[in-house]
Structure 1
Amino acid sequence: MAGRPKIFDENQAIEKATEVFKNKGYDIASAEELLNAMGIGKGSFYLAFKGGKQELYLRSIKQFSDSFHQKLSEGIANSDNEIEFIKQLFLGLANGTDCDKERGCYLGNALVQLSEKDDAIKKISAEILKNLQQLFAEVINKAQKNGQIKSSEDPEILAWHLTNLWNGIHVTKRMENSAQILTSIIELNLKLLD
């Protein structure tokens, strides 16, 4: 016996739950709010997400991360200047008020809030950061080879620096909302890509 068939799209339901997590945070988002946003009942929820709210959150982060990484990869691949694309990604963090897939704010905030609370989230966080670092390293390596940037620093280390900057800006934005200050911090760090 296979059980009751699913009558909802899990990916769409996770997307709707992601909006709740973005707006409320993991701790404050209630089961009722999540179920209402997803448009499903408790029975369907626990059939699909046996680990409850935590499993939903992990899948939300993973799904958002995959989408963010795909959009970022496509944006880099389709840009005329990959280094400039990365610079604009970071500068957008200073000025952006919304949390979209291009900037990955939801991921940054999730990593800051929960990576130390749970081993599964910590593992996903490490994977997200490593994927981001690898993407940056590929662009930097290519830019060094074609003389687009002067730095002879190890592309892997420069990429980790950018990954750390991406993380750090999400932390700093929680305390400082001046776009001017954030832009200055980012521009100073991005001089490594000149």
Structure 2
Amino acid sequence: MTPDTDVAIKRGRGRPQIFDRDRALESAMKLFWDRGYEGTTFDDLIGAMKISPSTFYNSFGNKERLYRETTELYLNDAGNFFTPALAKAKDAKGAFEALIEAAAVAFTREEFPSGCMISLAGTHLPPSLNALRETMRTFRDGAEQALADRLSQGVADGDLPQDTDVAGLAAYFETVFRGMAVDARDGASTERLRKIGATAMRAWPSA
């Protein structure tokens, strides 16, 4: 048995039921991504993951813990386009153009729900789930900080004017990417997202 596989005992049969934990986690990720935290019920989860309630609790703890684990999976797998795209080009403008292209493609892939799992995650959670909402906010803040860091590098390298409002420009592009994610959920095509990104790049400061 591999570390990726869990075993649950079926009541009344005495036979172990082996399931692929990684596959079950990916199924949960897609469901949360598509429906959101509150829009996903426990029955939805065990149905999509093809596991029993007891296996769910033994392997994943509870819904909130599972959600946190699926967001980590998203960031390390389906959503792992952000940092590599920013590192593609030597100049800052090229890096942001690469990120726009990567986002346009990632937000419209057929094998995953459209948009970004993190962009709007947790924004409408009740006060009882403030800790989860803050975790999602931390992820979004981290993305904006990564944009700011790349812009600061661009200023240091001479790609951008010394008086560039790095924080403001980073916030602007973070807003653009979140808007692209929402547009993708509404059915926008890859090409439409590319056009949105190209228009956004017109705000790029002249060196």
Normalised by the length of structure 1, the TM-score is 0.71
Name 1:169's counterpart in structure 2: 180
Name 2:204's counterpart in structure 1: 193
Deviations 1:130-158 (A, max 9, x none): 11112111211111222223473232222
Is 1:31 equivalent to 2:42 in the alignment? Answer: yes
Percent identity, aligned pairs only, is: 20
Q: How many residues align?
A: 185
CA RMSD of aligned residues (A): 3.5
Deviations 1:112-144 (A, max 9, x none): xx3221313321221111111121112111112
Q: Which has the higher helix share?
A: 1
Which is higher, the Rg of structure 1 or of structure 2? 2
For the residue of structure 1 that corresponds to 2:139, the secondary structure is helix
CA distance in 2, matches of 1:181, 1:172: 9
Of 86-95 and 35-44, more deviation after overlay is shown by: 86-95
Q: Is the 8 A contact 1:151 1:192 kept in 2?
A: no
- Please list every run of 5 or more consecutive structure 2 residues that lacks an aligned counterpart in the other structure: 8-18
Deviation at 1:170, TM superposition (A): 2.4
Deviations 1:24-77 (A, max 9, x none): 4444544344224434321121123333x3332232123313446754223433
Q: Judging changes above 3 Å, is the alpha-carbon distance between structure 1 residues 12 and 94 closer, same or farther for their aligned structure 2 residues?
A: closer
- Please list every run of 5 or more consecutive structure 1 residues that lacks an aligned counterpart in the other structure: none
CA distance in 2, matches of 1:176, 1:41: 34
1:135 maps to which of 140, 146, 149: 146
Name 1:86's counterpart in structure 2: 96
Deviation at 1:22, TM superposition (A): 3.2
CA distance in 2, matches of 1:26, 1:133: 23
CA distance in 2, matches of 1:99, 1:84: 27
Q: Judging changes above 3 Å, is the alpha-carbon distance between structure 1 residues 173 and 36 closer, same or farther for their aligned structure 2 residues?
A: closer
Q: Which has the higher strand share?
A: 2
